[in-house]
A and B are shown apart, each in its own frame.
Chain A
């Protein structure tokens, strides 16, 4: 994980106890007890226990867990719709749990927009008035907020529906209004509480795609709650996995899939179509050997022989991939007394970026079955994927 990225929200040691004697539950927790024991001993419910994570600027962080995992509690602690029991939530230097009422209102207005599972639109307000709500609360002047809300509605594809009331709209459209209300507000963080869970599957996929598109345009820091792993893997830059009020694993979708932290995560990811999510990077092997553009044919052939391979990738001084040299081409170069291997290179191989889905790689293996080169944005050679590795990776996925 990139530790140097700017952090937008820093959560440290966050706990939440539901009940009248929270300290009792915390003490029992510190003695090593788990949620069910604590409930039995003290009558207190430990909703969240010692949660720590960062939300990076501009990322889409998914908090995932089954019902009862505390995910809804967690997102409500972030903007303090629920009071926390202990711990820090720091956003731009302010610790949210200790803010005074006025400062809290100010903080919510500046930093948080929220989209709700059941839309939570105001039935007595038109679509336009709903979208304006956050701005109205902040006291933005009428014509200005009208314009901003209008733009937000346009952005979510609801132009022309401004004067309708929420009950005249379908579920998908209602949630677009919810999204427009959040976007119009232009807070620094977007909180989405199971925002698409109440929608039917097709519309849900559409909304996910639209969110990703909006996200690529706006790069808004987003915390997205879901119980659906598919959704989490589809939209999340990173995923925080919760179980019984504790963090089980934090990582990119790929990390969660390939290196599940424990059996719980492993069971969770069962049934997910892994080939769809696995990428070239996961099957990639580091290169045992490359040839440099300045190498002569003898050196190149020698390297191949050393590593028992019959072709070798050739890179320039900046490790940019310039071609592939096959063993018989190298022999020919020696026979013809050539100094440079450059004229003997072939481009008859495939190269893919790191995030190419694994299943696409299958079709690329030609009958010659050269390893597929994996490159980064600067065309630098990172590694190769051999046919066996793809099968291996998929087989391992199938076992779990």
Chain B
């Protein structure tokens, strides 16, 4: 007997086509907003001369984490500048920062809501599992019909891919607040809002920051992959090196990604520690 194949892929494509045509106004709006945001951020960072931005970042590192990170950051950025990868690096940084901001803005309220409502928690957790285990490349495909080739699609895929840890850690952080402290807040007659802002959020902040750190790291890895759908930056340098079979160029761009990753990671971790 021939069991007919379930046309799962057809359904999804149908759904996506329907979404693109029905909600083109929405997608166009998102697209314009995102593009403007990226451009402004990118132009801002580009407008600064290399040495000035390098100095500023080193200063920030020194302020937050001390001399060692400041020296490391300066040396790493100087190397990138020297390799002529400054502009792609800035483009990548822009994408990462913008995608992270969007992801966090969505993740915080969702994470808080999931922490406070068991029902929502049960709904959201499988969705997060889905988002995280789906191969990252797959998000790139529907991004194109929605937003076309380019940075906006990259941001869309990156936000979806990098958001789960921020949601998870926010939920975890709030749920980890000791029961006695919640009881104490309740016993003194705190409203839900007071409890959230005076007790739950401050106490979960270190965990939330760890989640944001994870989100940044995932965003960085995705932004590089997103070069395949036309995102600018270090990823496209790597992509070009692959197509031309030039391992030297590929590694140079790859090292620049590593430097950027380490810089962002140490910086956000130190942010977390000083808050504690």
Contact = CB atoms under 8 A, between A and B. Distances in A.
Interface of A: 76, 79, 81, 105-109, 112-114, 116, 118-124, 133-134, 136-138, 185, 191
Nearest to B184: A120
Given A116-B180, A120-B181, A108 B203 contact: no
A76 B183 CA distance: 9
B243 interface: no
B13 interface: no
B191 A191 contact: no
B202 interface: yes
A122 B181 contact: yes
Given A116-B180, A120-B181, A137-B194, A81 B187 contact: yes
Contact of A116 (B184, B194, B202): B184
B189 A105 contact: yes
A81 B186 CA distance: 7
Given A122-B199, A123-B203, A124-B202, A137 B188 contact: yes
A124 B203 contact: yes
Contacts of B202: 124
Contacts of A107: 189
Which 9 residue pairs are nearest across A and B when measured between Cβ atoms?
A109-B189, A108-B189, A120-B180, A114-B187, A120-B184, A134-B188, A105-B189, A124-B202, A137-B190
B191 A105 contact: yes
- Sort chain B's interface into a size bin: 10 to 19
A107 to B, nearest CB: 8
13 contacts: A81-B186, A105-B191, A108-B189, A109-B189, A113-B188, A116-B180, A120-B181, A120-B183, A122-B181, A123-B203, A124-B203, A137-B188, A137-B198
Given A120-B181, A124-B202, A124-B203, A137 B187 contact: no
Contacts of B181: 120, 122
A119 B202 CA distance: 19
Given A122-B199, A123-B203, A124-B203, A109 B180 contact: no
A116 B190 contact: no
B183 A108 contact: no
Contacts of A114: 183-184, 187-188
Contacts of A138: 189
Contacts of A185: 188
A90 B11 CA distance: 61
Contacts of B194: 137
B36 to A, nearest CB: 38
Contacts of B178: 120
A108 B199 contact: no
B188 A109 contact: yes
B223 to A, nearest CB: 34
B189 A106 contact: yes
A340 to B, nearest CB: 66
Interface in B196-246: 198-199, 202-203
Contacts of A76: 183
A176 to B, nearest CB: 16
A162 to B, nearest CB: 19
B180 A118 contact: yes
Interface in B156-199: 178, 180-181, 183-191, 194, 198-199
A137 B184 contact: no
A271 B206 CA distance: 49
B188 A108 contact: yes
Contacts of A123: 203
Nearest to B194: A137
A173 to B, nearest CB: 17
Contacts of A134: 188-189
B188 A116 contact: no
A137 B195 CA distance: 9
B187 A108 contact: yes
Contacts of B186: 81, 108
B272 to A, nearest CB: 14
Contacts of A108: 186-189
Given A123-B203, A124-B203, A137-B194, A112 B187 contact: yes
A107 B184 CA distance: 15
Given A120-B180, A120-B181, A136 B187 contact: no
B101 to A, nearest CB: 25
| Most A Cβ at <10 Å: residue of B187, B194, B202 | B187
Given A133-B198, A137-B190, 10 more contacts: A81-B186, A81-B187, A108-B187, A112-B189, A113-B187, A114-B187, A116-B183, A120-B178, A120-B184, A138-B189
A79 B190 contact: no
Interface string B32-65: 0000000000000000000000000000000000
Nearest to A191: B187
Nearest to B178: A120
B176 to A, nearest CB: 13
A121 B203 CA distance: 12
A134 to B, nearest CB: 4
Nearest to A111: B189
A290 to B, nearest CB: 54
